Amino acid sequence: MKTDHNQRLGFGRYSKTAHGREGPHRTRRKDRRISEITVTTAKSQLMSTGEIIEVLAVIGGGKEATVLLAKNHEDELVCAKVFRFFTSTIKKRLRGTIHITASDMANLVAKQEYWNLYEMQKFVNVPKPRLLVDNIVIMDFIPEEEGSTKPAPLLREVDLGNFDPEELFYESIDLLAELFLKGYFIHGDYSEHNLMLTREGFLITMDVSQSVQYNTKTFITTPIRIRIDNAVELLRTDIENINQFFKRIYRIAIESEEVIEEIINELPLKLRNFLFQRTMEIYPSELYSPEIMVGKEKWRDEIIYHRTGTRRQQPK
């Protein structure tokens, strides 16, 4: 089986947003029940680090991790994300990759989350990472309001009565653009489920273990960075995810392609030239006549599908 970096990170054909899956978050949230055993294991793993004096609550849990609210030795509230050793996602990620044990895999994903947060905090609002111990990332807890033990609401939970949805929408796009242009990052799972909104109106993104950077110096995919044209495709999915949310709930939408174009225009010339060259390879200049431009989108999707086996998520 062909393997590559993206697949190892979960972006490839097994990713949540891969072709053939239902909408990325449609079935994920509804019957989320975190088993007792999972929580007990996570708690004891966290306690055994010696960094925590008390676990106060379970604040989240998806397929990959259990998120706990805890108190550290300085009596501060912290958030601990304990990555699970063996989950279906991890099992799938393991398929076709180099042999790695389940605990090593959890450690690796935790490491990615930690270092991605570490880098991203330089450019955008993310919970500040504090410590990485094996499969556990300890980070700042983002409360609903100061002193509260309730986490800040997710974008999907917020009653936007007090906020201007349009402004938030642009801010969420700005956040992606900053990450992309300044940090060379693609979030990779950007949506209303992974954005928190503080009472002061700050958007904070988290859940970044799958995030990845692109190469700015060479135009190939290397073990730790992907190629710029692949990065643009992933950025498109992120933009479309958030676009869908605002369209569905607030009936506001933007033209993803226009945003992408604007972002690309801000890239260094070298990268822009490379992207332009790639585009010309995909649709040669003689096909750029106005009549054909109408079908361009669809046609290009077909070519991308033919080459990569993945289909771009269609906006609803």
Ligand X SMILES: Nc1ncnc2c1ncn2[C@@H]1O[C@H](COP(=O)(O)OP(=O)(O)OP(=O)(O)O)[C@@H](O)[C@H]1O
**Distance of alpha carbon 143 from alpha carbon 131, whole angstroms:** 19
- Closest to ligand X by CB, 153 or 275: 153
User: Quick one: what does residue 154 bind among Mg ion, ligand X, none, with the CB cut-off 5 to 8 Å set by partner type?
Assistant: ligand X
Is 230 a binding residue for Mg ion by CB under 5 A? The answer is: no
The arrangement of strands across the sheet holding 212-214 comes to 185-186, 212-214, 225-226
Q: What's at 112, amino acid-wise?
A: Q
Q: E strands, 48-161, where? A: 52-61, 65-72, 77-83, 129-133, 136-140
**Which partner, ligand X, Mg ion, none, binds residue 63 by CB below 5 to 8 Å per kind?**
ligand X
Q: Which is it for the CA torsion 218, 219, 225, 229, positive or negative?
A: positive
Closest approach of ligand X to the CB of residue 150, in Å: 9
Residue in 194, 230, 237, 310 binding Mg ion, rule: CB under 5 A:
194
Binding segment for Mg ion (CB under 5 A), chosen from 37-45, 148-156, 194-202, 243-251, is: 194-202
**Rounded Cα–Cα distance for residues 143 and 94 (Å):** 35
Selected binder of ligand X within 9, 46, 65, 110 (CB under 6 A)? 65
The whole-angstrom separation of Cα 213 and Cα 4 is: 15
State the virtual CA torsion across 44, 35, 195, 127 in degrees, nearest 10: 0
Considering only 192, 207, 229, 240, the residue that binds Mg ion (CB under 5 A) is 207
Among 81, 93, 225, 227, binds ligand X (CB under 6 A): 81
Nearest to ligand X of 56, 154 (CB atom): 154
Please identify the residue of the shown chain whose CB is closest to the bound Mg ion: 207
Please tell me whether residue 109 binds ligand X under the rule CB under 6 A.
no
The answer to the question of residue 150 lying near ligand X (CB under 6 A) is: no
Tell me the closest approach of the beta carbon of residue 90 to ligand X, in angstroms: 12
Is residue 129 close enough to count as binding ligand X by CB under 6 A?
no
> Which segments of the chain are extended strands (E)?
52-61, 65-72, 77-83, 129-133, 136-140, 185-186, 195-197, 203-205, 212-214, 225-226
Burial class for 27, CB neighbours closer than 10 Å (0-12, 13-18, 19+): exposed
> Which of 205/215 has CB closer to Mg ion?
205
Q: Site residues (CB under 6 A) for ligand X?
A: 59-60, 62-65, 67, 79, 81, 127, 139-142, 151, 154, 193-194, 206-207
